[in-house]
Amino acid sequence: MTMSEADDLVLLSVDEVFDLSLRVLEGAGLGRPHAEAVARTLAASQRDECHSHGLHRLPGCVMTVTAEKFARDAEPEVADAAPALVRVDAGYGYSLLAFERGLPLLVEKARRGGVAAMAISNCFHFSALWPEVEALTDQGLAALVMTPSHAWVAPAGGRKGLLGTNPIAFGWPRPGGHPYVFDFATSAVARSDLALHKAAGKPIPEGWGVDGDGNPTTDAATALEGAMLTFGGHKGSALSTMIELMAGALIGERTSLDSMAFDEGLKLAPCHGELVLAFDPVVMSGGDPAEGIVRAEALFAGFAAQGARLPSERRYAARARSLAEGVSISRALHERIVALLP
């Protein structure tokens, strides 16, 4: 790194990222428990070098918080809805506190029944899903989490936004180490990648988007006006549709199309539901998970044996580095955030 590049960066500890986020969010009027939950997730994302969901998101979070539709002091309502189901009404606040409040009952139910679900409703959602997956793997449970977003993505063979960028994440607890976790959008890329290409005047690869007539395009502006595409053609399209159904229709919640209509062009975080599934390896294996653990570890060893990496390995390496050395953000982003302080 040259000296002038270093001058353009600000070094913060992970705790400082949390404190800065908390002050900004509370200053914007977000109730303390919500502000803490959001700040924890932003700091974790920055720590793991998931830049798109770290401090970069803070200005957008503030914009959502100050909107009339958003409930800054929403108290999530946790309902013991059925033997294997926790329902949490987020009350038009952020999803993160609703998740935290419902988590203990979800864990208890999964341990009792082997499998349990948490359906979160009426939540504004902006975050990566892996922190929630890790909250469950930390308890020795496997987890599957999914949520819709806004309808920017055309179905395979289509030409208009119908599906969301719909992320899905999975976690598998591992003895004595980091869990196996993947977490990705079902769109070919993040919408912000298209915006970055547009700003830089750079062409996009085929497969990222289509124009308004459904023709493939390599022009970012055309794709932003037309529609994004899912990864993996018809397979990603079907997976994304499943997320609309499972984390939307199944739990009585908005699809990405409904979420976009609810937004009324305000460009707030999407507002919809989230589905969290938890599985207890002890109960699911009939009481003795040891053999399953050995099989899973053999599978993971097979990756290393052929030089392939597991998803989240990059994140875990970034985590160790950030905890030891702090995180660097651009001076421009830091100034933008400091300007948001009351």
The DSSP element (H or E) to which 122 belongs, if any, is: strand 115-124
Q: Is 182 helix (H, G, I), strand (E, B) or coil?
A: strand
Residue 21 CA, distance from chain mean position:
18
The residue from 19, 193, 219, 263 that is catalytic is 193
- Cβ contact 177:188 at 8 Å: no
The residue from 52, 80, 234, 288 that is catalytic is 52
- Cβ contact 138:260 at 8 Å: no
Sign (positive or negative) of CA dihedral 33, 276, 51, 310: positive
Rule CB under 6 A: choose which of 70, 99, 126, 172 binds ligand NDP.
126
Binding piece for ligand NDP, criterion CB under 6 A, among 59-67, 120-128, 250-258, 281-289? 120-128
Site for ligand NDP, residues 80 to 119, rule: CB under 6 A: none
Rule CB under 6 A: choose which of 22, 65, 185, 278 binds ligand NDP.
185
DSSP letter (8 states) at residue 216: B
Residue 193 annotated in active site: yes
Residue 52 annotated in active site: yes
Residues linked to residue 12 through DSSP beta bridges, in sequence order: 327
315 binds ligand NDP (CB under 6 A): yes
The residue from 21, 34, 48, 53 that is catalytic is 53
From first CA to last CA, the distance across the chain in angstroms is 34
Instruction: Say which residue the tokens 């002038």 belong to.
Output: 4
Binding mask 42-71 for ligand NDP (x = CB under 6 A): -----------x------------------
Binding piece for ligand NDP, criterion CB under 6 A, among 11-19, 60-68, 81-89, 309-317? 309-317
Binding mask 215-254 for ligand NDP (x = CB under 6 A): ----------------------------------------
Rule CB under 6 A: choose which of 87, 125, 197, 254 binds ligand NDP.
125
165 binds ligand NDP (CB under 6 A): yes
130-137 vs 32-47: helix crossing angle, rounded to 10: 90
Q: How many CB atoms lie within 10 A of CB 287?
A: 7
149 binds ligand NDP (CB under 6 A): yes
Q: In what order do the strands lie in the sheet with 115-124?
A: 77-82, 85-94, 115-124, 271-279, 142-146, 167-172, 180-185
Rule CB under 6 A: choose which of 190, 221, 250, 257 binds ligand NDP.
190
How, if at all, do strands 85-94 and 115-124 pair? parallel
184 binds ligand NDP (CB under 6 A): yes
- The size of the chain, in residues, is 342
Residue 53 annotated in active site: yes
Which residues bind to ligand NDP, rule: CB under 6 A? 53, 125-130, 147, 149, 165, 167, 169, 182-185, 190, 270, 309, 311-315
Could you list the active site residues? Answer: 52-53, 193
